[in-house]
Structure 1
Amino acid sequence: MKKRIAFATLATTVAIAGSATARDQIRVVGSSTVFPYSQAVAEEFGAQMGGAAPIVESTGTGGGMKIFCGGVGEGHADMTGASRAMKPSEYELCTENGVTDITELLVGYDGLTIAHSRSAPDFALTEAQIYLALAAQVPVDGEWADNPYRKWSEIDPSLPDTEILAYGPPPTSGTRDAFVELAMHDGCKALPYVKDGGFDGDWIDENCSRMRQDGPFVEAGENDNLIVQRLEADANAVGIFGYSFLFENQDKLKAVPVNGVEPNEDTIADFSYDIARPIFVYVKNAHRGVIPNLNEFVEEYTSSASMGAGGYLQERGLTVLPAAKLKEVQDAAIGAMNMSAPES
């Protein structure tokens, strides 16, 4: 059960406060999807406080969790953004390293977006077509085999007669984890070979999770702005990233509808867009009251002016929480509510 805490333990506080060089800037790491939101809050907070803004680094969800869970003290990050919930293995890593008091905060909702240049011809994809284009192995003549498809039109004649080229996130990214779970697994399950084959969830996890490595799918790192640049340079390429990057580049890019639905604030909020997901930030409570202004930064991050309807994060593409849910998040943030261990 979650519990509220008023302050960190004395031993932890002394350990941090006793550092030879006290850190006076908040450090936030994590997801490239959450990065634009954390950066916007950091800039607003710096302007309000009149001092140095918090440092925000785009390390990917997995990389951010490793940094965040590395330990307690001024040498370790205070917060991490995540485009998926913390995994049990990451919680265990935190626990092993003394990071035992963490507040999990739901920031809002995001849609995993497949986008391409505005100069490209329009087309739409089903999750099954996405899987057939990007998976390492697919059904071929009744057998499970290495993916032979090189062109979209080889999957379906109605699709463009161009080479498949998709720039996407690396394995350390929460966006990659979410894309595999929400798009690839569902696309795999929709294939007649799998749907009619009686395969269970373990088989899906083992056989439908690998992205192809023979060229059509390219791991583009944690900087989604580089994917945007590549899509501008090649009208035949598509990119996979969070909705905020499409939102901020609507003059250059357009969405590829998935299962007949385009990502936007409404379709992400009601999850009619099939590859929508929640996004999070995690706060190291032992650093509250020790790292200057961390409590105030957390309050600004979760404020109605930031995360609420009409707030400045909505202006950056965030699909915001309903008012009642936002109030729950704000209470958890202010009360430093300690999260429960994630379920396997």
Structure 2
Amino acid sequence: MSFTKLSVSALALAAVSATAAAARDEIRIVGSSTVFPYTQAVSEQFANNTGSPSPIVESTGTGGGMQIFCGGIGETHPDITGASRGMKPSEFELCAQNGVTDITQANIGSDGLSIAISSSNEFDWDLSLAEIYLALAAEVPVDGAWVANPYSMWSEIDSRLPAVDITVLGPPPTSGTRDAFVELAMHAGCEELDYVANGDFDGDWVEENCSRMRTDGPFIEAGENDNLIVQRLNSDKNAMGIFGYSFLFENLDTLKAVKIDAVEPDPETIASGDYPVSRPLFFYVKNAHRGVIPGLNEFIEEYMSEDAMAPGGYLTERGMVALGDERRKTVQENVLNAVSMEAPE
């Protein structure tokens, strides 16, 4: 496979800003903290293979990365953004408004949203999605009424759980991990509650009433740096953290997973969908920058290589769950040939 497309926008960019673009020798990448370690690994391999400068990779969060990526075309704007969810219609429109009209989407693999706790915690944690919702939501049902969350200890949610304070560190609203967690864990957990399941509530009601995380202390927004969450869990054996599976995978010497509905996250359960909080991972490339920013084509080729993406590749060694063979081949062909994405729905 090889690049066969140099878009009209790329030619235009090369014509009007070749001198400016040449001033930036490094590839610039922003986006998801979950995708960050994978992109960093590809960057190191790319630099080793080519002798080119290692790309500058910034962990800005998915939402923040989209805002920066969609800011425009040219050497002052990034070439790629990583994302732990798909691009939103509003983000696609923002890109278009700023002249970023030729974008390729790359689904690089899958990830599980892990809830982890210190391995020094001796309890065998296994939470249902409903229990996760009751612990972390701003509003919950109590005695037939929808009220502000009153729970401060896990044992108040279910007597089988320890009588310890609920302390969960998680991502901020700008993070794709937060978006995915709200959709896959909070909404699904809310729908499991008898109050909701037996009531006359549709998906719009769930989205409106079950999306807000509590702000009274038990849930702590820990920023985009997942390593800081890991440090906190190592210092507080009863605290839990929410982050992508790769961070749990890299810290299994000190952390352990909290099972969800009796399923522990691992590559097999995430790939099969048995683990209930799984999601695809992406990066988005600005096709106008291909052939203009030095090394960008070669970096994309490295990211799409079998050495990186295939089962047993160096990205799966870091915790990413590889795509199936047929899906992976399709993604590789589309990305290497700069196939433009359609507007998301």
1:110 maps to what in 2? 111
Instruction: Give the letter aligned to residue 71 of structure 2.
Output: G
Q: Is the CA contact (8 Å cut-off) linking 2:22 and 2:294 kept in structure 1? A: no
2:290 maps to what in 1? 288
2:193 maps to what in 1? 191
Shift of 1:49: 1.2
Shift of 1:12: 2.5
Q: What is the distance in 2 between the residues matched to 1:112 and 1:66? A: 23
Q: Is the CA contact (8 Å cut-off) linking 1:16 and 1:72 kept in structure 2? A: no
1:83 maps to what in 2? 84
1:6 maps to what in 2? 6
1:223 maps to what in 2? 225
Cα deviation per residue 1:115-151 (whole Å; 9 max; x = unaligned)?
Answer: 0000012211000000000000000111000000000
Cα deviation per residue 1:5-31 (whole Å; 9 max; x = unaligned)?
Answer: 433433232233142862110011100
Shift of 1:310: 1.0
Q: Is the CA contact (8 Å cut-off) linking 1:137 and 1:146 kept in structure 2? A: yes
1:127 maps to what in 2? 129
2:25 maps to what in 1? 24
2:97 maps to what in 1? 96
Cα deviation per residue 1:54-81 (whole Å; 9 max; x = unaligned)?
Answer: 1111000000000100000000000000
Q: What is the distance in 1 between the residues matched to 2:222 and 2:60? A: 13
Unaligned runs of 5+ in 2: none
- 2:237 is aligned, of 235, 238, 241, to 235
Q: What is the distance in 1 between the residues matched to 2:21 and 2:105? A: 30
Q: What is the distance in 1 between the residues matched to 2:31 and 2:194? A: 38
Alignment of 1:23-42 (within 5 A): 23-42=24-43
What secondary structure is seen at the aligned counterpart in 2 of 1:331? helix
Alignment of 1:115-194 (within 5 A): 115-120=116-121, 121-194=123-196
Distance 1:292 1:111, change over 3 A: same
Instruction: Give the letter aligned to residue 101 of structure 1.
Output: D
Q: What is the distance in 2 between the residues matched to 1:21 and 1:338? A: 25
Q: What is the distance in 1 between the residues matched to 2:289 and 2:183? A: 33
Q: What is the distance in 1 between the residues matched to 2:337 and 2:64? A: 27
Q: What is the distance in 1 between the residues matched to 2:17 and 2:77? A: 10
Distance 1:21 1:311, change over 3 A: closer
Q: What is the distance in 1 between the residues matched to 2:187 and 2:7? A: 42
Q: Is the CA contact (8 Å cut-off) linking 1:104 and 1:280 kept in structure 2? A: yes
Distance 1:46 1:8, change over 3 A: farther
Instruction: Give the letter aligned to residue 251 of structure 1.
Output: D
Unaligned runs of 5+ in 1: none
What secondary structure is seen at the aligned counterpart in 2 of 1:145? strand
Q: What is the distance in 2 between the residues matched to 1:80 and 1:330? A: 17
Q: Is the CA contact (8 Å cut-off) linking 1:16 and 1:290 kept in structure 2? A: no
2:331 maps to what in 1? 329
2:313 maps to what in 1? 311
The count of aligned residue pairs is: 340
Calculate the TM-score normalised by the size of structure 1: 0.97
Q: What is the distance in 1 between the residues matched to 2:71 and 2:6? A: 23
Report which stretch shifted further, 66-75 or 12-21.
12-21
Q: Is the CA contact (8 Å cut-off) linking 1:30 and 1:82 kept in structure 2? A: yes
What secondary structure is seen at the aligned counterpart in 2 of 1:19? helix
What secondary structure is seen at the aligned counterpart in 2 of 1:119? coil
Q: What is the distance in 2 between the residues matched to 1:315 and 1:127? A: 28
